[in-house]
């Protein structure tokens, strides 16, 4: 099978690449207009490209159009569950269109490495996006490989981001870290 693998970042690519490329022809699509700001987008992309180049892996960087992401999540900014579904749909739709254009059979995504992403939402968004472009959505669940992905990415010295990608998740993560700090301080007092 010829698979277009949507990749969100370098650390999350490591394990899905190994799992899928063992039995399939795989090409990688970096399709992430959700990432904010541009410097962060570039840092994640360059981390991914650096590792891919070291392995001889082909990566297609799709157009970075954050305004398309703004349109996709309009009205859902304060509803993380629905916002993430719309975000998955957009990114997997971009990968699916690219797969169809290049004659690939299916799309898979590295998003299912993360234990913080909703696998049902990814599956639903991927299936709908792929149906629109006449390609198959390959359902995967790489969460059990997350510890190994973490270990390998640390060992490789890869940049590891501390928020999902969009400006809302940046703020949500920052607030979460502050809450944890305050809880730890309260426990020590």
Burial of 85 (0-12, 13-18, 19+ CB in 10 A): buried
Q: How far is the CB of 37 from ligand SF4 (least distance, A)?
A: 13
The region of 19-27, 53-61, 146-154, 164-172 touching ligand SF4 under the rule CB under 6 A is 164-172
Within 98-157, the residues that bind ligand SF4 by CB under 6 A are none
Q: How far is the CB of 16 from ligand SF4 (least distance, A)?
A: 17
Nearer to ligand SF4, 96 or 164 (CB): 164
Q: Which of 7, 26, 135, 166 binds ligand SF4 (CB under 6 A)?
A: 166
Nearer to ligand SF4, 113 or 166 (CB): 166
Within 32-91, the residues that bind ligand SF4 by CB under 6 A are 34, 83-84, 87
Q: Which of 181, 175, 153, 161 is nearest to 18 (CA)?
A: 153
Q: How far is the CB of 164 from ligand SF4 (least distance, A)?
A: 3
Q: How far is the CB of 36 from ligand SF4 (least distance, A)?
A: 8
**Cis amide prior to 37 (ω within 30 degrees):** yes
Taken in order 159, 164, 168, 171, the sign of the CA dihedral is negative
Nearer to ligand SF4, 89 or 104 (CB): 89
- Interface residues toward ligand SF4, by CB under 6 A: 34, 83-84, 87, 164-166, 168-169
């Amino acid at each position: 099978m010829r698979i277009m693998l949507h990749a969100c970042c370098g650390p999350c690519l490591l394990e899905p690449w190994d799992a899928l490329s063992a039995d399939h022809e795989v090409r990688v699509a970096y399709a992430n207009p959700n990432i904010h700001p541009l410097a962060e987008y570039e840092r994640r992309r360059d981390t991914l490209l650096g590792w891919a180049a070291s392995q001889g892996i082909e990566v297609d960087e799709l157009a970075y159009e954050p305004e398309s992401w703004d349109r996709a999540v309009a009205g859902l900014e304060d509803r993380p569950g629905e916002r993430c579904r719309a975000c998955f749909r957009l990114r997997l739709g971009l990968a699916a269109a690219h797969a169809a254009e290049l004659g690939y059979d299916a799309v898979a995504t590295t998003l299912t490495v993360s234990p913080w992403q909703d696998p049902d939402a990814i599956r639903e968004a991927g299936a709908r996006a792929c149906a629109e472009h006449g390609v198959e959505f390959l359902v995967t669940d790489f969460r059990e490989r997350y510890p190994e992905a973490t270990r390998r990415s640390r060992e490789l010295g890869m940049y590891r981001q501390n928020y999902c990608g969009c400006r809302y998740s940046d703020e949500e993560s920052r607030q979460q870290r502050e809450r944890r700090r305050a809880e730890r301080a309260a426990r020590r007092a």
